[in-house]
């Protein structure tokens, strides 16, 4: 498996993607390089390396740059960091990661090429500091949250991950039929008359949907990924490996056909709602749906890597997971409840509100 790491042309340090400048940056010398430039630079270096390999008999005459070593132990692929010798686990879906000891970036181009090459990528717009801030803000004002939960020591892990998503676009055409009734009542003194008029309502429509996202990774929790939607897809750029440097990335392990059902359900719900909302319900005394059909055409699917910050917080031997949209900062997660505080508040509010209401009753009703 080929391995890639972008090196600084000035000092040879590992370049990582900087979300603030949207450029690759060398942490050692601070050198910043545009994404297009580093791509060209990398291509030249790669071709020069290939040419060097064709020389014979000069092996070992020049000091070759240190590379990641790969070995397989018990079916697991383990990469050894060339900088610190640390070992990095990578599973079948890992497309990029970094050394947990020295942060040296590791990109596996084989995982993002061919059928696994993403069409689009939304580069990280927010960094780990933003993620921490968003997490602190998310915890603020939660009265039932245990006080100790917010301490920094609880935050065990924070990592930026490019999560694989399928983006579905299509045209939906369909028909909804509805039964409707109008009722009119009058009386002549002895009898009450009710006239019921029956109607058959038909609504035909067509609606275009663009880039409905469905997470293509089994590992990522779908409800978390849907909670941090929407992503601003119009800010997505064509995929380049350089964006992965310094972050983790995954390749999809759920095919686009498998994920379509989820997108279809969401599209159907919205389309059905549009058709139903077009009925002037105020004209009728009752309206009920009889049936609904939808067909899809002009379907296109794009494979995209979208930025997600994942935060893992340990509290009382339990891990709490949070996800943040790496583009918009929207946070998702479930915070624990401090049950002592819960009952304290319950009793306090109950006593307080009952007393206030009692006093108000005495003032205004007695």
Considering the rule CB under 8 A, would residue 336 count as an interface residue with another protein? yes
Considering the rule CB under 8 A, would residue 194 count as an interface residue with another protein? yes
Q: Smallest distance from the beta carbon of 175 to another protein, in angstroms?
A: 9
Q: Smallest distance from the beta carbon of 191 to another protein, in angstroms?
A: 4
State the binding string over 250-289 for another protein (x if CB under 8 A, else -).
-------------x-xxx-xx--xxx--xx----------
CB 132 within 8 A of CB 283: no
- What the block records as the tokens of 218 is 């089994």
Considering the rule CB under 8 A, would residue 12 count as an interface residue with another protein? no
Q: Which of 1, 48, 218, 361 binds another protein (CB under 8 A)?
A: 361
State the binding string over 218-237 for another protein (x if CB under 8 A, else -).
----xxx-xx-xx-------
Q: Tokens 């949070």 label which residue? A: 322
Q: Which of 154, 207, 253, 312 binds another protein (CB under 8 A)?
A: 207
H/E run at residue 259: helix 256-277
Q: Which of 29, 218, 319, 349 binds another protein (CB under 8 A)?
A: 349
Query: HSE-up of 293 (CA within 13 Å, CB side)?
Result: 5
Considering the rule CB under 8 A, would residue 208 count as an interface residue with another protein? yes
Q: Which of 144, 256, 292, 328 binds another protein (CB under 8 A)?
A: 144
Residue 201: other Cβ atoms inside 10 A: 19
Considering the rule CB under 8 A, would residue 134 count as an interface residue with another protein? no
Q: Which of 198, 238, 282, 288 binds another protein (CB under 8 A)?
A: 198
CB 242 within 8 A of CB 39: yes
Question: Which listed range, 26-34, 108-116, 194-202, 289-297, lies at the site for another protein (CB under 8 A)?
Answer: 194-202
3 state DSSP class of 302: strand
Q: Which of 205, 258, 302, 315 binds another protein (CB under 8 A)?
A: 205
Considering the rule CB under 8 A, would residue 189 count as an interface residue with another protein? yes
H/E run at residue 17: strand 16-18
CB 103 within 8 A of CB 238: no
Considering the rule CB under 8 A, would residue 211 count as an interface residue with another protein? yes
Closest by CA to 96, choosing from 156, 6, 11, is 6
Residues 6+ apart with CB under 8 A from 280: none
Give φ, ψ of 343 to 5 degrees: -70, -30
Question: Of 123 and 333, which CB lies nearer to another protein in the complex structure?
Answer: 333
Query: How many residues in the chain?
Result: 366
Q: Smallest distance from the beta carbon of 250 to another protein, in angstroms?
A: 20
Q: Which of 203, 249, 250, 311 binds another protein (CB under 8 A)?
A: 203
Q: Smallest distance from the beta carbon of 117 to another protein, in angstroms?
A: 24
Provide the 8-state DSSP code for 13: P
- Torsion, Cα of 268, 273, 279, 281 (10° steps): 140
CB 166 within 8 A of CB 302: yes
Q: Which of 38, 201, 259, 313 binds another protein (CB under 8 A)?
A: 201
């Amino acid at each position: 498996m080929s391995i890639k790491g972008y090196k600084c042309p000035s000092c040879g340090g590992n370049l990582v993607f900087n979300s603030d400048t949207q450029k690759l940056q060398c942490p050692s010398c601070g050198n910043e390089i545009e994404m297009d430039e580093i791509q060209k630079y990398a291509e030249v270096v790669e071709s020069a390396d290939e040419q060097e390999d064709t020389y014979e008999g000069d092996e070992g005459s020049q000091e070759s740059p240190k590379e990641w070593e790969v070995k397989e132990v018990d079916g697991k692929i383990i990469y050894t960091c060339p900088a610190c010798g640390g070992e990095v686990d990578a599973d079948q879906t890992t497309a990029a990661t970094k050394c947990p000891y020295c942060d040296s970036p590791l990109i596996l181009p084989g995982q993002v090429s061919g059928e696994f090459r993403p069409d689009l990528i939304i580069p990280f717009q927010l960094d780990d500091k933003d993620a921490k801030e968003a997490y602190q803000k998310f915890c603020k004002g939660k009265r039932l949250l245990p006080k100790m939960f917010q301490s920094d020591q609880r935050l065990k892990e924070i990592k930026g991950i490019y999560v694989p998503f399928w983006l579905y676009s299509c045209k939906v055409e369909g028909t909804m039929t509805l039964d409707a009734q109008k009722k009119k009542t009058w009386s002549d003194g002895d009898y009450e008359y009710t006239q019921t008029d029956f109607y058959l309502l038909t609504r035909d429509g067509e609606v275009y949907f663009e880039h409905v996202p469905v997470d293509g990774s089994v590992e990522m929790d779908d409800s978390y990924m849907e909670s941090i939607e929407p992503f601003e897809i119009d800010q997505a750029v064509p995929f380049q490996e350089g964006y992965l440097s310094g972050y983790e990335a995954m390749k999809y392990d759920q095919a686009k056909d498998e994920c379509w059902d989820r997108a279809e359900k969401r599209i159907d719900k919205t389309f059905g709602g549009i058709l139903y909302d077009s009925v002037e319900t105020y004209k009728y005394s009752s309206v009920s749906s009889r049936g609904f059909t939808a067909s899809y055409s002009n379907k296109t699917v794009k494979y995209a890597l979208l930025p997600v910050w994942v935060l893992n917080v340990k509290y009382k031997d339990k891990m709490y997971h949070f996800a943040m949209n790496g583009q918009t900062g929207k946070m998702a997660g479930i915070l624990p409840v401090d049950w002592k505080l819960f009952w304290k508040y319950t009793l306090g509010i109950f006593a307080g509100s009952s007393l206030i209401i009692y006093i108000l009753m005495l003032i205004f009703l007695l």
